[in-house]
Amino acid sequence: MEMRAKQDIEIGDDITPPLLPLSFSLHDSFLSSHCSSCFSPLSFPPLPHHYGSLYCSAPCSSSHSPISSSSAESFLPLTCPRSSDLRTALRLLLSLPSTCPHLHRFTNGLLTNYLKLTSSPEFAAQIRQGAIAMAAARKLRKGLSLDQSDDVLLEEAVLCLVVTNAVEVQDESGRSLGIAVYDPSFSWINHSCSPNACYRFIVSPPNATSFGEDSGSALRIVPSVSEENFGVCSCSEYNKGTEGYKYGPKIMVRSIKRIKKGEEVCVSYTDLLQPKAMRQSYLWFNHQFTCSCSRCTVSPSTFVDHALEEILASNPSFSSAGLDVNLYRDEANKKLSHYVDETITEFLSVGDPESCCKKLESVLEGGFHVEQLESEDGKSWLNCKFHPFNHIALNSYMTLASAYRIRSSDFLAFQSKTDESQLKAFEMSRISAGYSMLLAGATHHLFCSESSLIVSAVNFWKQAGESLLTIAGSSIWNLLGLSKSELSTVVKHKCSECSLMDIFGAKSILNQAERTNFENISSDFLACVRSASPKFWRFLIHGCHYLETFKDPFDFRWLTHAHCVAEDVDFIKEDSNCEHHAEWYTNARTHIYKVGMHCLVYGVILAHICYGQNSHLTTHVLNHVENFVH
């Protein structure tokens, strides 16, 4: 079961129209804050609720509440695990035909994976217990009780369908609000770790202008079914949404690569910035299949997958002793990974940003020493550190950018408004911006080898741009005798070194003709920020020993292809002769602004490819740029 392009599709084109779900449900934690029909945030007080559901408007209530009340979901136990799955399955049961000849395999044209899931150690008990709870709720609604001899096959099959086909519905900030099941136009799209498409959600109240929605978009993919699955519903028999659903979180699919007619269209079910073993583990545990895409099956591993798990090991005497370096490298990798995971988990749960920064920077800078007692020359040691592209290093950069940003806010919120406290807050903001730049630069380097990483690149360039513009617009420059008007020396919508600002100024944001030249635009952008960032990088990262080991956050040509020793990287020294001159500060601030603008506009271009001209993210970034300029 797969979907193929029925025509040639260019990069950044809509592949499907907005699709309404067959069934959906908010997660428990959002039932009291979001509309159960359209998933929009509620304005308080909400409309009177029906069976635990709250609604933002009368249209949402009249559309959704009859289905909610008829599904028997209000009779589910309050402590029922994964209750959003059960509510979605109960609502889906309302749309099933009276007879379902392929119940074990297909329902509403969707694969149930019944036999696989009900025999899986990870899912069997969950499916059985959930089906019993659903059957009991349906009986209770009729004033009956469930007998142990009652058949729950139907409930098991539909719950298996939900587990197999449901996707997490996310808002514009990336929060997972709930789950939804869509018809085969989306659900038949398979996974790949090197996908050629991505999807986005449209969450908006009735009659609201929906970001990124184009109701005139056509369905540009067709189903393809193998012989062994013959007997699945034909395309004309697809159920195009549960009857009665006029609203709900819509989904659209968009190309992120050029797709030829007849080529399979794939999206990703997992985080593409994880190495192969972690992706495979996630896909098996959550979806019960082993990925066999080109990225997973190629041998040797792709550059990206090699870099995502690379550990830098150093000590010549250790290697010359004839010892198995890889064995100790793996040992160090496990210990380093465990330490970083614990630190990030502690930060997210306890919220101590200062402790998090110290711990993460300690392991990033110092690494881990592995001792070997059997060397002929006595005790040998091996120092292991994360490669800058290692997935744990990337996750650490993301966490550190957030932690330093929180520390900056805390200084301003809880300290007296003295020059000293403002300078300290500014220092935290500088380092946060440094990690954001490093994260964007490292991810871009990987993106150049694996273009499906574009979705991650969008967010990281956006964050880097916003953090740099925050620095450029900081009031701390007033202490140095500078003002925001000093930035008028920058030509706001023009750049002599690349065409990026011309695209933004023309409001075209990568039209069809420019998409064919996207690689050149990307290359020119990188060359432009590479030339500007050295003019302020030392100032930005001053005081952070780990970041000072990087000469440039966007240029990684100093890294050798395979083995790199961190000790060989020169530490950057502060140039104390120029940092106290207003002219130097003005120059640094101007280049911070310039690079920040370039990062944001480049993020807009990538967001347009992934989400469309009028998507929420594209509009957000455009507004951010416009607000700063004016």
Closest by CA to 205, choosing from 240, 176, 247, 233, is 247
Q: Is residue 571 pLDDT above 50, yes or no? A: no
pLDDT of residue 245: 67
DSSP assignment string, 170-230: E-TT--EEEEEE--HHHHTPEE-SS-SEEEEEE---TTSPPTT--TT----EEEE--GGGT
Which pLDDT tens digit goes with each residue over 340-396? 999 999 998 888 999 999 999 999 998 877 665 455 556 667 778 889 999 999 999
pLDDT in tens, 198-218: 999 999 888 765 545 555 678
d(Cα 308, Cα 388) in Å, to the nearest integer? 9
Nearest residue to 383 (alpha-carbon basis) of 319, 309, 289, 451 = 319
**C-alpha closest to that of 547 among 555, 557, 537, 556:** 537
Q: Distances in Å between the alpha carbon of 198 and those of 12, 166, 304? A: 10, 16, 19
Q: Give residue 625's pLDDT band: very low, low, confident or very high (50, 70, 90).
A: low
- How confident is residue 284, by pLDDT bands cut at 50, 70 and 90? very high
pLDDT band at 570 (very low <50, low <70, confident <90, very high): very low
> How confident is the model over 124-146, as a mean pLDDT?
91
Lowest mean pLDDT among 255-259, 421-425, 545-549: 421-425
Q: What is the DSSP letter of 613?
A: T
Name the pLDDT band for 34 (thresholds 50, 70, 90): very high
User: pLDDT tens across 161-198, in order?
Assistant: 999 999 999 988 889 999 999 999 999 999 999 999 99
Q: Per-residue confidence at 97, pLDDT binned at 50, 70, 90?
A: low
* Coil vs helix vs strand at 181: strand
Tell me: pLDDT of 426 over 50.
yes
Mean pLDDT of the chain: 81
Residues in the chain: 630
Residues 275 and 308 sit within 8 Å (Cβ to Cβ): yes
Mention every residue, 6+ apart, whose C-beta is less than 8 A from residue 149.
none
Distances (CA, A) of 624 to 156, 438, 603, 630: 48, 21, 12, 10
How much is the pLDDT for 418? 75
- In angstroms, the CA 48 to CA 58 distance is 10
Is the pLDDT at 603 greater than 50, yes or no? yes
What pLDDT is recorded for position 376?
58
Q: Which two tokens stand for residue 506?
A: 């023309």
Q: pLDDT-derived band of residue 583, with 50, 70 and 90 as boundaries?
A: confident
Give the domains, in start order, of the chain with CATH numbers: 2-227+241-268 (2.170.270.10), 270-297 (no CATH), 300-372+381-417 (no CATH), 436-561+577-629 (no CATH)
Asked whether the beta carbons of 531 and 496 are under 8 A apart, the reply is no
Higher pLDDT, 216 or 554: 554
Please say if the pLDDT value at position 231 is more than 60: no
Question: How many CB atoms are located within 10 Å of the residue 467 CB?
Answer: 26
